[in-house]
Amino acid sequence: MASAAEQLAANINFGAFAKAEELKKRIWFTLGALLVYRLGTYIPLPGINPEALAQAFNQAQTGIIGLFNMFSGGAVGRMAIFALGIMPYISASIIIQLMTTVSPTLEQLKKDGERGRKVINQYTRYGTVFLATLQAYGISVGLEGSTDIVTDPGLFFRFSAVLTLVGGTMFLMWLGEQITARGIGNGISLIIFAGIVAELPTAIAGTLELGRQGALSTPLILGVIILAIVVIAFIVFMERAQRRLIIQYPKRQVGNKMFQGDSSHLPLKLNTAGVIPPIFASSLLLLPVTVANFASGQGPEWLTTVTALLGHGQPLYMILYAALIVFFVFFYTAIVFNPQETADNLKKHGGFIPGIRPGQRTAEYIDRILTRISVLGAIYLVLVCLLPEFLISATGVPFYFGGTSLLIVVSVTMDTVSQIQGHLLAHQYEGLVKKSKLRGKRR
């Protein structure tokens, strides 16, 4: 069955794509939604002085504000209506998912299927509004504390800034949900992906300009390019890596017919959590210091100290980033894959792993294998996200060449392409079924 699917996938061509009308509609919808997102990153907040903002941002972009600007697609540098990006929604999702492990009410909602999922999503939206309001108010206060950035400081500016930024985040949350439902790929991941890719040409041009001016040596630029290619190849290899557990099905009799036993496999991805752990880890590290660099030293002393310690490339930032990635690898894997449920489904359909007793023993075996490969997946994510960051912080190359950005771009691209291939396969199967029915009628 697997070889037939691979053969069919190899035969996918442009002609099959041209006939897949539903797929084309989904792709056009996704592109249109991402275009709306990019337009929003160029609409500035009311009451902002662009020249003073650009000057203040140029002094702060080497720190964590530059990383935040990368995830927002350059909206922070322009202080656009989408400056908060989608990060408050991701932070709220983390908090709700963490609470499901300690709150019996949320845990029960999680088990209630579609109804429970809708309630949890509603709680996540409320949390997004709360976090976005806090961050937006902090940004408005920080902007007022900076010199000449706000043309008319006061209560009205704070109110309008909070309202605009929170509205922008809620719109992006809705847009991401629409892309997931009516487009191709995961909407939230694609929004972050679009922001990184859109700013990539500017980052490349800026790096080449630094090389022309002599600020960066030519061998260093070539080394960064080679490193990026190697990291991309490593990401593709590790994202495709699987541990396949052999599943055996016994002989069975249906009526007077005896069906031979069959064998299949249960694929366990090396990185089950995907790109979620780096995004979650980044959002949590960005949350407490969103405003600090805009305060220009006028905030509390402890906030200034925290900002300095959590600066991009600082040891504390790297340690916390690695620890959060490892935590979210295991946490998110436990959410998306339930060994007990998988073992129960195998037992229900008569399948078993050779040498392992069905039921609880099978669940324990799958959980043990999943834990081992999750350790490798966590090490892989930490290496990909941190090793290039050390080099970038030491050389001053833009964040867009870092491991986190490359991981997001490559992983989201692979996931989107696989979904497109899945739609094409389904379309070809439908075409084959229709042809077989027509031939049967003719006969």
Check: CB of residue 68 under 8 Å from CB of residue 90.
no
* Helix or strand (DSSP H, E) at 355: none
Q: What is the DSSP string of 429-441?
A: HHHHHHHHHHHHH
Phi-psi region of 350 (alpha: psi -120 to 50; beta: other; left: phi over 0): left
Greatest alpha-carbon pair distance for the chain in Å reads 87
What SS3 state is found at 29? helix
* Helix or strand (DSSP H, E) at 252: strand 252-254
Give the span between the Cα atoms of 359 and 345, in whole angstroms: 9
pLDDT of 171 > 90? The answer is yes
Report the 3 state secondary structure along 37-69. Answer: HHHHCCCECCCECHHHHHHHHHHHCCCHHHHHH
What are the pLDDT digits (tens) for 8-48?
444 445 556 566 677 888 889 999 999 999 888 888 888 88
Check: CB of residue 299 under 8 Å from CB of residue 142.
yes
Who has greater pLDDT, 343 or 263? 343
Q: What is the DSSP string of 371-407?
A: HHHHHHHHHHHHHHHHHHHHHHHHHT--GGGSHHHHH
What SS3 state is found at 253? strand
Report the 3 state secondary structure along 307-349. Answer: HHHCCCCCHHHHHHHHHHHHHHHHHHHHHHCCHHHHHHHHHHC
Give, in order, the Cα–Cα distances in Å from 396 to each of 60, 115, 199, 210, 224: 13, 49, 17, 10, 11
The least confident of 37-41, 218-222, 298-302 is 298-302
- Supply the pLDDT for residue 8: 43
Tell me, rounded to whole angstroms, the distance of Cα 388 from its chain centroid: 19
Work out the pLDDT band at 410, boundaries 50, 70, 90. confident
pLDDT of 3 > 60? The answer is no
- Supply the pLDDT for residue 278: 84
Q: Which of 209, 273, 189 is nearest to 238 (CA)?
A: 273
Give the span between the Cα atoms of 79 and 377, in whole angstroms: 36
% pLDDT > 90, the chain: 7
DSSP 197: H
Check: CB of residue 421 under 8 Å from CB of residue 20.
no
Give the span between the Cα atoms of 74 and 192, in whole angstroms: 11
| pLDDT (mean) for 332-341 | 82
What are the pLDDT digits (tens) for 223-250?
878 888 888 888 889 888 888 888 887 7
What SS3 state is found at 267? strand
| pLDDT (mean) for 246-268 | 71
Enumerate domains of the chain plus CATH numbers.
Answer: 19-199 (1.10.3370.10), 216-250+259-433 (1.10.3370.10)
Give the span between the Cα atoms of 193 and 410, in whole angstroms: 9
What are the pLDDT digits (tens) for 45-65?
888 877 777 777 666 555 556
Give the span between the Cα atoms of 378 and 392, in whole angstroms: 21
pLDDT of 79 > 90? The answer is no
Angle at 122 between CA 121 and CA 124, to 5 degrees: 65
Give, in order, the Cα–Cα distances in Å from 164 to each of 76, 136, 221, 276, 290: 14, 9, 39, 27, 17
